[in-house]
Homo-oligomer: A and B are copies of this chain.
Amino acid sequence: MASEKVTSMDVAKKAGVSQSAVSRVLTPGASASKKTAAKVISAVNELGYRPNIIARTLITGKSRIIGLVVAYLNNRFYPKVLEKLSNKLQKEGYQVLIFIAQNTDDDISNVIEGILEYQVDAIVAASVGMSSDLAARCQASGVPIVLFNRGQTNSALSSVTSDNFKGGWKAAKHLLELGHKKIGYIAGWEGASTQLDRESGFVAALKEKKITITHREVGNFVRNEAQDAARRMFSNQNHPTAVFVASDHMAFAVIDVLRSELGFRVPEDISLIGFDDVSLASYSAYNLTTIKQPITQMVESTVNILLDQINHPQVQKNQIIKIDPTLIKRNSTSSVKDSK
């Protein structure tokens, strides 16, 4: 059956030059005469030679692989991130090695250790919390890490998020402008910085108007938990007229429950606002008003930080980037009805 692998030695022999000559011809910065270059190139083509990145990695110390840790792929937000990130990195000559982790300290720790074995040039941890000692170990390993969509209390690591506090704030402003007074909140997983910041921002803006949340439930960023949260929140007469749901993914769950189980209309009876602006939010079945996370910019910043840290390992500066999210008004929110 199949061809043996062809190495730079084979090319060298075929071209009648040394292996180092082959290497130099194929390395952009190196010196080689046109004559040998030509010979090498034609030998490369004839033999169908492809350099072995693994061998190259061993000697250069650069694998051109970026490790990506993800926890929730079921949330629509992350496939998009993966796509954009991978595309952008591919353009820069890097590839993405995927690691799926459960969101527990233990598992994340294991996964990160595993990543390091692959000699990745950098790590992106998307929506994954990091204990500070794990963070420390990562730093020690010398591999740059960027937290994506998760902040960190001790800011030892670089992170890129949208400004979740501001996002929560804007959500509140929007509901207030529409005249809502009885306002609920459905929280995400409380271990996530995104959840905390969104809620703080939301509460802070309400407080300015001397309003506090009347109802609060936890959905943990999970569909069926969000559904349960909605059922609890709207199980009695005294329910809010507007709800901020900490992610679009959960907001869809809430809308489904409100409309098809509980018989509410959205937005006529209840106003709902989400967070993320995943593509489904714009489908007319939901038409969800939401706070848009600027994925493109977030990914861009992430890649910039990564490349910067890969190329200048000596300067140990960690950056905290927060990008302004924007309110996208659609049709899941409306002015409060004169109640009763």
Chain A residues at the B interface, C-beta cutoff of 8 Å: 1-3, 5, 48, 50-55, 57-58, 63, 65, 73-74, 76, 78-80, 82-83, 86-87, 90, 95-100, 113-114, 116-119, 137, 139-142, 252, 255-256, 259-261, 279-280, 283-286, 316
A47 CB → nearest B CB, Å? 12
Chain B residues near A1 (CB, 8 Å)? Answer: 139, 142, 316
A264 CB → nearest B CB, Å? 13
**7 A-B contacts (beta carbon < 8 Å):** A2-B142, A53-B119, A54-B54, A54-B58, A65-B118, A83-B100, A259-B285
Cα(A99)–Cα(B116), bound, Å: 20
Cα(A90)–Cα(B100), bound, Å: 8
Cβ A54 vs Cβ B119 within 8 A: yes
Chain B residues near A3 (CB, 8 Å)? Answer: 140-142
A209 CB → nearest B CB, Å? 32
How many copies of the chain does the oligomer comprise?
2
Chain B residues near A118 (CB, 8 Å)? Answer: 53-54, 65, 95
Among B96, B140, B259, contact of A98 (Cβ-Cβ < 8 Å): B96
Task: Give the top 6 A-B pairs by smallest Cβ distance, nearest first.
Answer: A79-B79, A260-B284, A2-B142, A285-B285, A73-B83, A256-B284
**Are A119 and B286 also in contact (CB < 8 A) when A5-B142, A90-B100 are?**
no
Among B54, B90, B260, contact of A63 (Cβ-Cβ < 8 Å): B54
Chain B residues near A140 (CB, 8 Å)? Answer: 2-3
Closest to A79 in B: B79
A59 CB → nearest B CB, Å? 10
Cβ A255 vs Cβ B285 within 8 A: yes
4 more A-B contacts (CB under 8 A) besides A3-B141, A48-B137, A280-B280? A52-B119, A54-B58, A74-B80, A79-B79
Cα(A261)–Cα(B113), bound, Å: 52
Q: Which of A48, A90, A283 has the most CB of B within 10 A?
A: A283
Chain B residues near A119 (CB, 8 Å)? Answer: 52-54
Chain B residues near A58 (CB, 8 Å)? Answer: 52, 54-55, 58
Cα(A261)–Cα(B80), bound, Å: 27
Chain B residues near A116 (CB, 8 Å)? Answer: 50
Chain B residues near A54 (CB, 8 Å)? Answer: 54, 57-58, 63, 118-119
